[in-house]
Amino acid sequence: MLAPVKTSIGKKAIMGVTGVLLVLFVLGHMTGNLLIFAGRDAINEYARFLHEAGHGALIWVARLGLLAVFVTHMSLAFILRAENRMARPVRYVVEDTVQASWASRNMMLTGIVMLLFLIYHIAHFTLGATDPATFKGAFEPRGEQKLEDVYQMVVKGFQQPVVAGLYLLAQLALCVHLWHGAGSWMQSLGLNRGKLRQTSRLVGPVIALAVLAGNTLIVLACLLGIVTV
């Protein structure tokens, strides 16, 4: 039953499916965060919705699902890489590349940069561990309650050049990863037919640049004081 999944094409198909799911997450995550340009209330409402939907259960379902997808994607990346290395035990003295993009040849590098960033990102925003000073004060009085002020956390976070720099660097890695990956899955899943591959070659770069633009816009707007507390 699981035999086909273990073949080269099976593993690539799973890589493709998990990759697409991660791309969808990245796009959704970015769209939500762009609400920062709609003002304090918009993004805080959105954050509250995420935390409270389904009595707080939804976010855990999403987190666990995402974790599973992420771990699968990463494990397969390492397995595929190891097999590919083994398939050519003696390397060429002179190696030439005709058309493989730099992005496609450095998926592991950009992937690992993202992984390191992700650990930092969760420590920073989700756990509030790297910058407690900013996060402790980020509350919005609402009647009796004090609610988390995500807007303030984000703006004050990115006003610090080092923090903003780390995020921008990670966006660069993500962009390069998606340059190849966000179109490559179409080939892996056998969706390219006829002339479609010529078009699908653009899918990766288009998604990559859109994600780069959207995410860096948020960071830069805060860093440069266009969006303020």
Partner 1 sequence: MNFTLHVWRQKDRNSPGKMEAIPAKNILPDMSFLEMLDIVNDDLMAQGKAPISFDHDCREGICGSCSLVINGRPHGPTRGTTCQTYMRHFKDGEAIYIEPWRAKAFPVICDLVTDRSAFDRIIQSGGYVSVNTGGAVDGNTLPIGKDTAELAMDTSACIGCGACVAACKNASAMLFVAAKVSHLGLLPQGQPERSSRALAMVNTMDKEGFGNCTNQYECEAVCPKEISADWISRLNRDYIAAAGSPGE
**Residues in touch with partner 1 (CB under 8 A):** 4, 7-13, 80, 83-84, 86-101, 104-105, 107, 180, 184, 186-194, 197
Query: Which residue, 215, 109, 115, 128, is CA-closest to 164?
Result: 215
Cβ-count burial 189-223 (b if 16+ within 10 Å, e if not): beebeeeeeeebeebbbebbeebbebbbbbbebbb
Q: CB of residue 184 vs partner 1: minimum separation in angstroms? A: 4
Torsion of CA 114, 117, 118, 120, to 10 degrees: 170
Give SS3 for 141. Answer: strand
How far apart (Å, rounded) are the C-alpha atoms in residues 174 and 107?
Answer: 10
Which uninterrupted H or E stretch holds 142? strand 139-142
Q: Which does 89 bind (CB under 5 to 8 A by kind): partner 1, ligand HEM, none?
A: partner 1
What is the CB-side half-sphere exposure of residue 136 using CA atoms within 13 A? Answer: 5
| Residue 157 or 181 with smaller CB distance to ligand HEM | 181
Q: Which does 77 bind (CB under 5 to 8 A by kind): ligand HEM, partner 1, none?
A: ligand HEM
Q: CB of residue 194 vs ligand HEM: minimum separation in angstroms? A: 20
Residues that bind ligand HEM (CB under 6 A): 12, 15-16, 19-20, 22-23, 26, 73-74, 77, 80, 107-108, 111-112, 114-115, 177, 181-182, 184-185, 188
Q: Which does 216 bind (CB under 5 to 8 A by kind): ligand HEM, partner 1, none?
A: none
Q: Which does 91 bind (CB under 5 to 8 A by kind): ligand HEM, partner 1, none?
A: partner 1
| Residue 103 or 218 with smaller CB distance to partner 1 | 103
| Residue 94 or 162 with smaller CB distance to partner 1 | 94
| Residue 101 or 130 with smaller CB distance to partner 1 | 101
| Residue 70 or 139 with smaller CB distance to ligand HEM | 70
How far apart (Å, rounded) are the C-alpha atoms in residues 217 and 37?
Answer: 10
Q: Biggest alpha carbon distance in the chain?
A: 71
Give SS3 for 144. Answer: coil
Q: Which does 157 bind (CB under 5 to 8 A by kind): ligand HEM, partner 1, none?
A: none
Task: Give residues with Cβ within 8 angstroms of 74, minimum separation 6.
Answer: 111, 115
Q: Which does 182 bind (CB under 5 to 8 A by kind): partner 1, ligand HEM, none?
A: ligand HEM
Q: CB of residue 135 vs ligand HEM: minimum separation in angstroms? A: 24
| Residue 136 or 193 with smaller CB distance to ligand HEM | 193
